[in-house]
Chain A
Amino acid sequence: MNPLRVLGRSVVALCGSVGGLASFTVRALSRGLMPPYFPRQYLRQCLDIGYYSLPVVGLTAIFTGMVLALQSYTGFQRFEAESAIATIVVLSVVRELGPVLAGLMVAGRVGAAMAAELGTMRVTEQIDALTTLSTDPYRYLIMPRLVGGLVMLPLLVIVADIIGVMGGYLIATLKLGFGSVEYLNSTFRYLEMQDVVSGLVKAAVFGFIVALMGCYHGFTSERGAQGVGVATTRAVVTASILILTANYFVTEIFFSR
């Protein structure tokens, strides 16, 4: 087969899917920002995305904080720089690991569930039924999820930050022999507002990405159980890749100056 043709075909396919995603996003936002709004749907999504993700995100955060403290202790001991541990832990968690890990966990938990739910609704004609009941699916189904992701992930990340720092604190004080006041002091000494803000901006971006991928792939799911399965996989994979990509660019914007 002609390699140029293969290349051409995949470029066309890529442009097609980027175009599809872009028009979906524009349509969702332009319609979803207009009334009517559906408070119950917004509430349900916020609960689903935020509250029910707490255990997963909390567990991830605490072990990450713990392992960070342990790793940096064994590493930094060689330079007699153990006093930097608290700073390392708090900066890594707040700037990077909190938002990225929370984003990835939520992509697996919530993004997959959204794609499966919307895909099933598409396949069983529930989305068509919505339009025949004079309800816009973009307003009723999509917008509450996008807003839920955008708003709830930063809140989740605040919790993850606190729990992550606490994980480091536990290991440092209980296992590595740091004094608790000393550790807490050095935790906050070098922490700047910008670190926290950049982490929360990342979280909002990631939350939006997860919800958008879940909605887009679910909404455009092919017929049949297999179609829903494919949609779910795509939602998680594309969300994860986009999170890691976006992470670089947001970091670049915040810290390259």
Chain B
Amino acid sequence: MDNVKISMRGVHKRFGKKVVLDGVDLDVESGRSLVVIGGSGTGKSVLIKCILGILEPDAGSIRIDGVEVVGSRSGAAGAKRAECGMLFQGGALFDSLKIWENVAFRLIYAERLSRQKAREIAMHTLKRVGLGEDVGDLLPAELSGGMQKRVSLARAIASDPQIIFFDEPTTGLDPIMADVINDLIRSTTADEGVTAVTITHDMQSVRAIADTVAMLYAGRIHWQGPVAEIDASGDAYVEQFVEGNADGPIRIERAAE
């Protein structure tokens, strides 16, 4: 139990009448890489926004290292959330700041490093995601979508957080670059002991990144298991998702709605 980093119990979230999370129970082990899969619009992004405190769950408990963070304004909860880094699905780069200032944002403003030092770290981190020095002084609008995604990834990892959330890190990237990013995420967890939670639709990413896979369906964790079992899960929902079939239980229930 003591190597559980994030523990969620009975997390509910709805928007108006639309129930998105309907009692999510999920544990993320420390230093491991969890991948969350699930259909578009099932609430994967909402799930990690609840952990980060961007959205407030309607009910339920979320603990990071045993510290309750739901509804808590305490310093301890704030400190736990400060250990988290996040790659947003849409990038969410600050468009009035240069690329390197985006990457170095937390170093400059929260950790109060000198701009000089922060810039060095930012440039180094940009290199890790396959972007050159010349990119550093551009503005986000001057980059392609895939480049913005990588800058956003660099921003998430630049200050060496203990827990990192990646919301679709490889969408919009070419297969080679996707593989580079997969390796990067894999090595941050394997080598640096970081806990990672990744959302992806890309089964190749799942196999490359995951220690554990959890499938979100109908507001709950429908299936959870080691990545090695994903092809022999014996669960019709997971099988359908992994194989990408149009036919299967997921489709049928949607049609019945």
Contacts and interface: CB of A to CB of B under 8 A. Distances in A.
Interface of A: 36, 38, 117, 120-121, 124-126, 128-129, 131-135, 140
A35 to B, nearest CB: 11
Nearest to B49: A128
Contacts of B86: 129, 132
Nearest to B158: A133
Interface in B91-124: 91-96, 105-106, 109-110, 112
B94 A126 contact: yes
Given A131-B52, A132-B81, A132-B86, 18 more contacts: A117-B96, A121-B94, A124-B91, A125-B90, A126-B95, A128-B54, A128-B88, A129-B93, A132-B52, A132-B54, A133-B106, A133-B109, A133-B110, A133-B155, A134-B109, A135-B109, A135-B110, A140-B109
Nearest to A135: B109
Nearest to A132: B86
B85 interface: yes
Nearest to A140: B109
Given A128-B88, A129-B94, A135 B49 contact: no
A133 B110 CA distance: 7
Contacts, number: 49
Nearest to A128: B54
Interface string B109-146: 11010000000000000000000000000000000000
Nearest to B83: A134
Q: Lowest 4 A-B CB distances belong to which pairs?
A: A134-B110, A129-B92, A125-B92, A132-B86
Interface size class for chain B? 20 to 34
B180 interface: no
A103 to B, nearest CB: 25
A30 B64 CA distance: 28
Contacts of A124: 90-92, 95
B62 interface: no
A140 B106 CA distance: 12
16 contacts: A38-B109, A124-B91, A124-B92, A125-B92, A128-B49, A129-B86, A129-B92, A129-B94, A132-B85, A132-B86, A133-B110, A134-B109, A135-B105, A135-B106, A135-B110, A140-B109
B23 interface: no
Given A36-B109, A38-B109, A140-B109, A131 B92 contact: no
Interface in B63-99: 81-82, 84-86, 88, 90-96
Nearest to B152: A129
Contacts of B88: 125, 128-129
Nearest to B107: A133
Contacts of A131: 52-54
Contacts of B90: 124-125
A129 B105 CA distance: 11
A23 to B, nearest CB: 15
Contacts of A126: 92-95
Interface in B44-62: 49, 52-54
A132 B105 CA distance: 11
A62 to B, nearest CB: 32
Nearest to B84: A132
A179 B112 CA distance: 61
A131 B109 CA distance: 12
